[in-house]
């Protein structure tokens, strides 16, 4: 079988498996509402139950990434899916809140399959195709939209237990298909020395890795946070029905997922750095416009006061969100294009810590959105926070790149994509 056919099949099966895993990872966004009613949970208990899979799925990414480098990504990928499927099925027989928490803890590892897939595909594809491949793989984020669209229909017809059962079976089936139709990355593994744990985490000493993590905290953590927050936002700010709010919020989730492949392709063709500049630049503009609160102005006129207001309607708001999701999608792909270029022997561990920090953004940011609403009493404060985050990321990226070019490559007149690769081992910024 040709190498290209094998690569394409690995990419397709990896993306399918990740899509199912991501759907499971966000399952509580739908079934959690019914579970809350059945168990008569408090708001705090409900928040913990819904947030726990996001938290645990983020925390396990580092160790799963390291194991992928040490023991083979294909083996870790399948093992993670089987473990998550078992805990998803546990939901169907759980009769107490404590068991529900245990099940949420276990099924949350499905969110860790992302870094494992990154490690696997980075060893399968050559560097000039990695951006496109990893971008296509990242489209598996659309699993969140799949859950939002499909799970409600299943739950209404058959109950939430059936949703958990179907999602668990889907995980097992996709894991088996992945095993049947993919090959182990033996060719790359047999030529590499197996890294110890300390060797695997060596790149984490570099400031650059944490800079990448901040980028991902915004583009992925912000995506997850908004996906959770927007239905609530639409209902309370624009007074739309919950079904309409769900559909409008799903449009953001789709734009922030489906265009990830485009980000990978553009990163391969024009350079990941250029894509990052566009992603962050447009995000700054979108977040600034979205953060402007509805305001009533009074002008003291000659005969009487003149009043007018500035506010954003639901249609322009949704359009801006779609654009924001689109550039977030590009940014997510571009960040992971950097990793196998800079750290070819530590893809799993670096992808793990970047994914961990990004995932934590999906857990922390919704909490911060709520706190800012309470203390600032402004609905658009969530976008104010995102504006600050992306501005910091853009400034830090620009300063770091200019410093590297000035100190290491003073003869360069124009920014180059990865010019520092010649001295990669010396790179700290």
Distance CA 176, CA 427 (A): 41
pLDDT digits 0-9 by tens, 361-396: 888 888 788 788 888 888 888 999 999 999 999 999
Q: Is residue 114's pLDDT more than 80? A: yes
pLDDT digits 0-9 by tens, 283-316: 999 999 999 887 766 677 677 766 666 677 888 9
What burial class does residue 408 get, using C-beta atoms within 10 Å of its C-beta: 0-12 exposed, 13-18 middle, 19+ buried?
Answer: middle
- State the pLDDT at residue 395: 93
The closest of 204, 391, 355 to 281, measured between CA atoms, is 391
Q: Is residue 196's pLDDT more than 70? A: no
Q: Would the CA dihedral through 95, 243, 377, 229 be positive or negative?
A: positive
pLDDT digits 0-9 by tens, 321-359: 999 999 999 988 888 787 777 777 777 678 778 888 888
Distance CA 397, CA 387 (A): 15
Domains of the chain, start order: 3-184+196-421 (1.20.1250.20)
Q: Are 94 and 148 in contact (CB under 8 A)?
A: no
Distance CA 223, CA 216 (A): 10
Q: Is residue 422's pLDDT more than 50? A: no
Q: Are 124 and 10 in contact (CB under 8 A)?
A: yes
Q: Are 223 and 143 in contact (CB under 8 A)?
A: no
Read off the tokens for 43.
């708001």
Distance CA 92, CA 340 (A): 40
Q: Are 256 and 138 in contact (CB under 8 A)?
A: no
How would DSSP label each residue in 22-47?
HHHHTTHHHHHHHHHHHHT--HHHHH
């Amino acid at each position: 079988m040709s190498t290209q056919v094998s690569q394409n099949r690995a990419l397709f099966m990896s993306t399918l498996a990740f899509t199912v895993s991501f759907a499971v990872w966000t399952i509580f966004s739908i079934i959690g509402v019914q579970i809350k009613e059945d168990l008569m949970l408090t708001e705090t208990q409900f928040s913990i139950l819904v947030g726990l899979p996001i938290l645990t799925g983020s925390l396990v990414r580092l160790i799963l990434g390291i194991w992928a480098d040490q023991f083979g990504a294909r083996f870790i990928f399948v093992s993670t899916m089987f473990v998550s499927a078992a805990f998803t099925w546990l939901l169907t027989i759980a009769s107490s809140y404590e068991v529900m928490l245990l099940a949420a803890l276990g099924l949350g590892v499905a969110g860790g399959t992302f870094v494992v897939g990154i490690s696997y595909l980075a060893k399968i594809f050559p560097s000039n195709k990695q951006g496109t491949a990893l971008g296509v793989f990242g489209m598996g984020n659309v699993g969140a939209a799949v859950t939002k669209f499909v799970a409600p229909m299943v739950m209404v017809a058959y109950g939430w237990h059936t949703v958990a059962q179907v999602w668990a079976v889907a995980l097992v089936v996709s894991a088996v298909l992945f095993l049947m139709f993919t090959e182990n990355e033996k060719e790359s593994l047999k030529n590499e020395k197996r890294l110890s744990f300390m060797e695997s985490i060596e790149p984490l000493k570099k400031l650059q890795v944490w800079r990448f993590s901040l980028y991902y905290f915004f583009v992925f953590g912000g995506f997850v946070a908004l996906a959770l927050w927007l239905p609530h936002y639409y209902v309370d700010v624009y007074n739309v029905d919950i079904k309409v709010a769900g559909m409008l919020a799903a449009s953001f989730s789709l734009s922030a997922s489906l265009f990830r492949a485009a980000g990978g392709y553009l990163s391969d063709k024009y350079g990941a750095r250029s894509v990052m500049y566009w992603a962050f630049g447009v995000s700054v503009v979108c977040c600034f416009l979205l953060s402007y609160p509805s305001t009533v102005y009074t002008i003291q006129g000659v005969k009487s006061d003149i009043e007018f207001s500035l506010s954003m309607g639901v249609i322009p708001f949704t359009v801006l969100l779609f654009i924001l999701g689109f550039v977030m999608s590009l940014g997510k792909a571009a960040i992971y294009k950097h990793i196998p270029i800079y750290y070819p022997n530590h893809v799993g561990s670096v992808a793990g810590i970047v994914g961990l920090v990004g995932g934590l953004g999906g857990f922390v940011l919704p909490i911060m959105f709520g706190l800012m609403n309470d203390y600032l009493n402004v609905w658009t404060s969530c976008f104010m926070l995102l504006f600050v985050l992306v501005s910091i990321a853009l400034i830090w990226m620009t300063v770091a790149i200019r410093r590297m070019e000035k100190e290491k490559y003073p003869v360069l007149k124009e920014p180059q994509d990865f010019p520092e690769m010649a001295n990669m081992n010396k790179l700290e910024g």
